[in-house]
Amino acid sequence: QVQLVESGGGLVQTGGSLRLSCAASGSIFGLNAMGWFRQAPGKQRELVAMIMFGGSTNYGDSVKGRFTISRDNTKNTVYLQMNRLKPEDTAHYYCYCAQLGSSYWGQGTQVTVSS
């Protein structure tokens, strides 16, 4: 089992920045993909960004050029730097990881962008 704990959400004004962190613990051998999804009220959960163990990344179209994902494999932690935030980025952000065919999710952290 892998446990994921997110931190860094909050309230920010349009154009501002936030940095999310997610630390993995437990049976973390073989961690591969780590990333972030988000879900706004009444909408489906969507990919924000994903990073593989080797460093390759993938971003959702709506965040390209504004968000940057990174990871520290020595700390089993993934980060999401969010810049130029917009009201439509308001959502509950969930950390995700994949390990040897299994997927794990964190409890999520709320990001609210005021206009």
pLDDT of 111 = 98
Question: Taking the mean position of all CA atoms in its chain, how far away is CA 106?
Answer: 10
Dig out the tokens for 10 from the structure.
Answer: 């909050």
- pLDDT tens digits for 46-99? 999 999 999 999 999 999 999 999 999 999 999 999 999 999 999 999 999 998
Mean pLDDT of 106-112: 97
